[in-house]
Chain A
Amino acid sequence: MDGLAWRQFKAILRKDIVMELRTREMVTSMGLYAILTMVVYQVALSEAGASLDVRLVMPGLIWVAFIFMSLLGLNRSFVHEKDQGCIEALLLAPIDRPVIFFSKFTGNLLFLLVVEVLSLPVFSFLFLQEQQGIANPVWMVGLVLLGASIGISGVGTLLATISVNTSGRDIMLAVLFVPLMYPLLRAAVGATFAAVIGGPASAALFWGWMAWVAAFDVIMLLVAFALYEFVIGA
């Protein structure tokens, strides 16, 4: 990337970060959403009894929370651009469209990761105190978070750009996003499970699922990147 594109990238990213620091809208709403989801989980698991090993369902639960939380954040990230006419200004400025994609993608990824990293300790505080801890090193969970969030933000940035221009906005993003995310989610849950439960075969299982995550990221990011120019210009 040459110097100009890099400066443009930084400028758009800085704009998003400054706006987020001033309003704290995305991180607050996503974080609150995550906590509310945990309250709902408590209700959902309340009859399961003390014998339930929460670690068995935890990988699935956290990814359910993260996928719906990311829907919320992705929608927010473009509603501003659209409602305040910022997107027109971005398009009028002599900026390459891929730069817009990568800066929006990086911003979304950043906010998503922040909320994920903040909500995981809360989750383990609320649900995992009486359970055994995570069997494998914590960085493995971190790696899944990073890998899956890249895919979520990449496809999400493209789909949010589409859905913000439709009449159904929020529901439209969910309808398009959740099925497309299925392969990634499945792999993320598999990898998280392997990291949490452990056991002799867990390393091989973990890297097997991570290969799926990586493959999904590469394919989806390339396709989303290629399509973004058309979508944002439409």
Chain B
Amino acid sequence: MKRRPIAEVMLALGGLITTAAFFMAFLWAPATVYPDGRINFSQKIFYFHVPVAEASFLVFFFTAFYGVRFLMTKDRRYDVMARVATEVTLFFVLLTMATGILWTRVEWGVWWQWEPRLTTYFIMTLLVIGYFVLRNSVEDDEKRATYAAAFGILAFIDAPISFFITRWVESIHPVVLAGGESSGLEPPMLITFIIAQVGMLMLGYAFYQMRLREEELHERLEALKISIGG
């Protein structure tokens, strides 16, 4: 069994960096203003909401990736990796939903709006939850792993749709980093955002590795139990 000190390092570093980005967001990055001159304070959630959302898409990719790897090799380790990646995805998805809903309440005046980005992201949430419902209802280990891999790959197709939908169709969800004249950020805002994003990805990696290690320990424990005739 390998020790992975890198997970702890990433956790500490990611924690520090995201905390730093949090302070930078409030103390350094300039606030945006509404057309009527009022300060747009709710925009500050951008430095948290967008990093967790991007992280959720990225980690979800590994569900599909390890799903493909599992189907190619039938190696159980990839199934565990895919499941752990989906767990981390669920964590980020719920954070994205929570922060998004807070922002829409302040900015749009409603908690929820059936808007293309929100709708496709909600669908993605349901798919991630469905992945675990599916896993829980299959008894046989190999069947469970195969079905989960297949569903994970199918489900991931929604992620790029949800990501690009605001660029394809008319949507009231802001598209900040799309290029074009009205988009883009001032340098201090962009730097703060990038730092928050890097920190969040480090945290995601740390959660993934630590959960994976927990799973490995759990499996070793089960194997030991069997070996002593338990």
Cβ–Cβ contact B157 & A172, under 8 A: no
Closest A-chain residue to B148, C-beta based?
A: A162
Chain B, 116-153, CB within 8 A of any chain A CB = 119-120, 123, 126-127, 130, 133-134, 137-139, 142-143, 146-147, 149-151, 153
- Name the interface residues of A6-25: CB closer than 8 Å to any CB of B: none
A112 within 8 Å of B (CB atoms)? no
B127 touches A231 (CB 8 A): no
Q: Is the CB of A180 within 8 A of B127?
A: yes
Asked if B198 lies at the interface with its beta carbon under 8 angstroms from chain A, I say no
- Please give the distance in Å from A100's CB to the nearest CB on chain B: 15
B134–A230 touching, CB < 8 Å:
no
Is A231 touching B147 in the complex (CB atoms < 8 A)?
A: yes
Q: Beta-carbon contacts of B151-168 to A below 8 Å, as 1s and 0s?
A: 101110110010000000
Contact B138 A230 (CB under 8 A): no
Name the interface size band of chain A: 20 to 34
B120, B127, B137, B153: the one within 8 Å of A227 (CB): B153
- Residue in B130, B143, B158 whose beta carbon sits within 8 Å of that of A234 in the complex: B143
Q: Decide if the interface of chain A is mainly helix, strand, loop or mixed.
A: helix
A168 lies within 8 A of B137 (CB):
yes
Which chain A positions have C-beta within 8 A of B158?
179-180, 182-183
Q: Does A220 contact B (CB under 8 A)?
A: yes
Is A223 on the interface with B (CB-CB < 8 A)?
yes
* A158, CB-defined interface residue at 8 Å: yes
Q: Name A165's contact: one of B147, B153, B161 (CB within 8 Å).
A: B147
* B97 contacts the other chain (CB 8 A): no
Q: Which of B130, B137, B146, B149 contacts A179 (CB 8 A)?
A: B130
B123 touches A234 (CB 8 A): no
Given A220-B157, A223-B153, A227-B154: A234 in contact with B137 (beta carbons within 8 A): no
* Partner pick for A230 among B119, B130, B146, B154, CB 8 A cutoff: B146
Report how far A155 CA is from B133 CA in the complex, Å: 18
Tell me whether B151 and A230 are in contact (CB under 8 A). no
Given known contacts A162-B151, A182-B123, A230 and B133 CB-to-CB distance under 8 angstroms: no
**Cβ distance A27 to chain B, nearest Cβ, rounded Å:** 28
Contact of B154 among A166, A175, A180, A182 (CB under 8 A): A180
10 CB contacts below 8 A, A to B, read A158-B150, A158-B154, A166-B147, A168-B137, A172-B134, A178-B126, A179-B130, A179-B155, A219-B157, A227-B150
Residues on B lying within 8 angstroms of A by beta carbon are: 71, 119-120, 123, 126-127, 130, 133-134, 137-139, 142-143, 146-147, 149-151, 153-155, 157-158, 161
